[in-house]
């Protein structure tokens, strides 16, 4: 049976100091588990522990509450490809444009074989594989198959 659970964070005692951790509480019986860390693996561990420590000895499949910020896969909603909400994206044509994927256009682009991926916002500082210039966090970059890596806005536009 699928059972919802509430996911939260809390400080937990460590060997020498308190450590941020994840908690999960079963919506049916209130059983609570905790795990060190606040990443996706910690959430999944809490969900597994709920199943293993169920006081009713049920073999439930636990799902995070959708309002908790974690998706039904136990991942952060923003990073889950299946569950992330439609969001504002920065594109070469503007900032804050709300996009729903045009699957037909994406398929046509893939069929054209231009070897260029979609524009993304850089999450790290890096070096363009086309011209060797540096990009910074927040700059627009895209994957270029011909260069075997990510390229800056100038190299990816032409």
Kindly report, residue by residue over 41-79, the tens digit of the pLDDT.
888 899 999 999 999 888 888 887 754 555 655 555 555
| Residues with Cβ within 8 Å of residue 1, at least 6 apart in sequence | 58, 60, 61
Structure tokens at 39: 């990443």
Write down the pTM of the prediction: 0.43
Contact by Cβ (8 Å): 47, 64: yes
Q: Are 14 and 74 in contact (CB under 8 A)?
A: no
Backbone torsion region of residue 57, taken as left when φ is above 0, otherwise alpha when ψ lies between -120 and 50, otherwise beta: left
> Which tens digits make up the pLDDT trace of 109-150?
556 666 777 788 888 889 999 899 998 888 888 888 888 888
Phi/psi-derived region of residue 37, left when phi > 0, alpha when psi is between -120 and 50, beta in every other case: left
- At residue 101 the predicted structure's pLDDT band, cuts being 50, 70 and 90, is low
Tell me the mean pLDDT in the region 75-103: 53
Q: Which residue did the predictor score with more confidence, 105 or 132?
A: 132
pLDDT higher for 121 or 103?
121
Residue 87 confidence (pLDDT): 47
Residue 4 pLDDT:
83
pLDDT at 53: 92
pLDDT at residue 146, rounded to an integer: 82
pLDDT at 104: 65
- What is the pLDDT at residue 52? 92
Q: Is pLDDT above 70 for 93?
A: no
**Integer Cα distance of 34 and 13 in angstroms:** 11
Rounded to whole angstroms, the Cα distance separating 43 from 62 reads 11
Mean pLDDT over 30-51 rounds to 89
Query: Is residue 102 pLDDT above 90, yes or no?
Result: no
């Amino acid at each position: 049976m699928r059972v919802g659970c509430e996911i939260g964070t809390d400080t937990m005692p460590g060997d020498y100091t308190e450590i941020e951790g994840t908690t999960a509480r079963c919506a049916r019986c209130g059983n609570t588990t905790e795990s060190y860390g606040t990443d996706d693996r910690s959430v999944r561990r809490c969900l597994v522990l709920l199943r293993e420590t169920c006081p009713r000895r049920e073999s439930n499949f636990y799902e995070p509450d959708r309002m908790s910020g974690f998706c039904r896969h136990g991942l952060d909603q923003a990073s889950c490809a299946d569950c992330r909400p439609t969001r504002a994206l920065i594109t070469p044509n503007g900032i804050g444009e709300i996009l729903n994927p045009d699957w037909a256009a994406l398929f046509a682009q893939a069929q054209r074989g231009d070897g260029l991926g979609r524009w993304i916002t850089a999450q790290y500082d890096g070096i363009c594989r086309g011209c060797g210039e540096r990009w910074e966090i927040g700059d627009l970059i895209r994957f270029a198959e011909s260069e075997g890596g990510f390229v800056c806005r100038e190299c990816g536009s032409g």
